[in-house]
């Protein structure tokens, strides 16, 4: 069973003039109504121009193969901060926080190589023990027979503990990481205390101050295997400007946090809405978990879009893209493209090729942490299945107002006593 097809909504979407469709509206993701909009674009205008939106004019790329083409053509589609970076929202220069995700080669390549050893296979094997220990403790402390928020008690706790481990960040202060990560990505119109770029910047300056202090400690100590120490001693990163340093720290905090958190929440939600799939998992967890984890990441598509800016004229899906145009890859849509993925709206825990999805992007910016994210989810589900044959979702999820992070803010659950 999948989310019910809402006929009224489908009709409403069908009635909008094609050129007025605007998939950048964050409410579509807050209300989980994005499906019919993208279905229509994939069918009628796979590369679609939206002339007027809150975020200015932009191209939407909605089909799997076209997104792949943009992702691998970094010579044409740039990620550079100064051109607009990787989000649909343009930022004034003083609020730009460059990091290697918003750099093109060759600087991107140098910085990325400094960070990637932390998630090399050997290091991952080493992290696995810590992750399992921490996951076990979190799960053992959960209440039975009473309703609690899965997001707060499990999803946030596990990813935040992991992040504190990766940075060797003071463990007791770890929720600061969660806070900074949320502040870094929150939509200023979402109704939180962060209602301007200025306020966002104030909080992130605290983050910078804290990490600068840690950086100073690490740079004066012997190199170690945590991310900060690697940045402090890395040949290409040790002379980062404060802005670049902040950008890189935030990249790693957000990269390793929101995305994995929302996959942990989204996975449980998808299982509870698809009882037959939940049963498959219960019947044979060892066989199902390896294919279920990538399927959860596809189904959730934790990053809704990535943006590029064309630095040359190009053809894409029959459309003519001009130098300077804003091009949005809607991963959430590409992951529901039935020309690339069979029965894409269904959540199926034992797909034949479950890793064939766009959630991590492709090409030179493909997610550095993708195997780490999978590892965390894998261990978490292994430990859950050892303890709880079933976890009941007892209310509706509360979703995030954002067109960038596909977020679940609260998910009420109950573990039978």
Interface residues for another protein in 338-357 (CB under 8 A)?
Answer: 353, 355-356
- Collapse the DSSP code of 413 into the 3-class scheme (helix H, G, I; strand E, B; otherwise coil) and give the result: strand
Interface residues for ligand HEM in 81-140 (CB under 6 A)?
Answer: 86, 100-101, 112, 119
Residue from 132, 201, 243, 362 touching another protein (CB under 8 A): that is 362
DSSP-derived letter for residue 154 is I
- Collapse the DSSP code of 148 into the 3-class scheme (helix H, G, I; strand E, B; otherwise coil) and give the result: strand
For residue 133, CA distances in Å to 100, 128, 136 come to: 32, 9, 5
- Smallest distance, Å, CB 305 to another protein? 18
Interface residues for another protein in 367-396 (CB under 8 A)?
Answer: 368, 370-371
Task: Indicate whether 369 belongs to the interface with ligand HEM (CB under 6 A).
Answer: yes
- Smallest distance, Å, CB 232 to another protein? 21
- Smallest distance, Å, CB 150 to ligand HEM? 17
Residue 68 binding target from ligand HEM, another protein, none, CB below 5 to 8 Å by type: another protein
339-351 in b/e burial notation, b at 16+ Cβ within 10 A? ebbeebeebbbeb
**Taking a C-beta distance cutoff of 8 angstroms, is the pair 253, 316 a contact?**
no
Nearer to another protein (CB atom), residue 72 or residue 138 = 72
Query: What's the rounded Cα separation, in Å, for the pair 42 and 113?
Result: 36
For residue 320, CA distances in Å to 47, 49, 314, 323, 399 come to: 10, 10, 6, 10, 35
Phi-psi region of 317 (alpha: psi -120 to 50; beta: other; left: phi over 0): left
Beta strand 77-78 with 305-310 is: antiparallel
Task: Indicate whether 129 belongs to the interface with another protein (CB under 8 A).
Answer: no
Nearer to ligand HEM (CB atom), residue 292 or residue 367 = 367
Binding segment (CB under 6 A) for ligand HEM, from list 16-24, 232-240, 276-284, 369-377: 369-377
Nearer to ligand HEM (CB atom), residue 184 or residue 415 = 184
Nearer to ligand HEM (CB atom), residue 237 or residue 263 = 263
Task: Indicate whether 71 belongs to the interface with another protein (CB under 8 A).
Answer: yes
Interface residues for ligand HEM in 219-278 (CB under 6 A)?
Answer: 251-252, 255-256, 259-260, 263
**SS (HEC) of 330-350:** EHHHHCCCCCCCCCCCCCCCC
Q: Taking CA 280 as the corner, what is the angle to CA 277 and CA 284, rounded to the nearest 5 degrees?
A: 150
Residue 35 binding target from another protein, ligand HEM, none, CB below 5 to 8 Å by type: none
Beta strand 326-330 with 58-61 is: parallel
Question: Rounded to the nearest 10 degrees, what angle do helices 370-387 and 285-300 cross at?
Answer: 130
79-96 in b/e burial notation, b at 16+ Cβ within 10 A? bbbebbbbbbbeeeeeee
> Pattern of binders to another protein over 104-123, x per CB under 8 A?
-x---x--xx--xx-xxxx-
- Smallest distance, Å, CB 296 to ligand HEM? 9
- Give contact residues for ligand HEM (rule: CB under 6 A): 79, 86, 100-101, 112, 119, 251-252, 255-256, 259-260, 263, 297, 302-303, 306, 359-361, 365, 367-369, 372-373
- Give contact residues for another protein (rule: CB under 8 A): 68, 71-72, 105, 109, 112-113, 116-117, 119-122, 124, 353, 355-356, 360, 362-364, 366, 368, 370-371
């Amino acid at each position: 069973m999948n989310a019910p097809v809402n006929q009224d909504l489908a009709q409403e979407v069908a009635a909008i003039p094609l050129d007025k469709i605007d998939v950048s509206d964050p409410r579509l993701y807050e209300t989980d109504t994005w499906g019919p909009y993208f279905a229509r674009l994939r069918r009628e205008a796979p590369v679609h121009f939206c002339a007027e939106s809150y975020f200015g004019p932009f191209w939407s790329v909605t089909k799997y193969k076209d997104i792949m083409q943009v992702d691998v053509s970094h010579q044409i589609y740039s990620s550079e901060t100064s051109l607009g970076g990787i989000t649909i929202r343009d930022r004034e220069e003083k609020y730009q926080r460059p990091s290697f995700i918003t750099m093109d080669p060759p600087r991107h390549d140098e910085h990325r190589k400094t960070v990637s050893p932390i998630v090399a296979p050997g290091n991952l094997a080493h992290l696995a023990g810590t992750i399992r220990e921490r996951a076990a403790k979190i799960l053992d402390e959960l209440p039975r027979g009473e309703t609690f928020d899965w997001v707060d008690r499990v999803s946030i706790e596990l990813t935040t503990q992991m992040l504190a481990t990766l940075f060797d960040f003071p463990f007791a202060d770890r929720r600061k990481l969660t806070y900074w990560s949320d502040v870094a990505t929150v939509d200023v119109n979402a109704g939180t205390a962060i209602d301007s770029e200025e306020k966002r910047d104030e909080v992130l300056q605290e983050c910078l101050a804290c990490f600068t202090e840690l950086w100073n400690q690490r740079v004066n100590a012997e190199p170690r295997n945590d991310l900060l120490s690697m940045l402090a001693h890395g040949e290409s990163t040790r002379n980062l400007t404060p802005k670049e340093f902040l950008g890189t720290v935030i990249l790693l905090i957000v990269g390793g946090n929101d995305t994995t958190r929302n996959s942990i929440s989204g996975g449980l939600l998808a299982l509870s809405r698809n009882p037959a799939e939940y049963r498959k998992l219960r019947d044979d967890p060892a066989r199902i978990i390896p294919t279920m984890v990538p399927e959860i990441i596809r189904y959730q598509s934790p990053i809704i879009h990535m943006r590029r800016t064309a630095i040359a004229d190009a053809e894409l899906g029959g459309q003519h893209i001009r130098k300077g145009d804003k091009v949005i890859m809607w991963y959430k849509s590409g992951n529901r493209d039935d020309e690339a993925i069979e029965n894409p709206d269904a959540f199926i825990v034992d797909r034949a090729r479950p890793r064939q999805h766009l959630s991590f992007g492709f090409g030179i910016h493909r997610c550095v942490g993708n195997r780490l994210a999978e590892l965390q989810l894998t261990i978490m589900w292994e430990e859950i299945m050892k303890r709880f044959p079933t976890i009941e979702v007892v209310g509706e999820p509360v979703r995030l107002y954002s067109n960038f992070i596909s977020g679940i803010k609260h998910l009420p659950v109950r573990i039978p006593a």
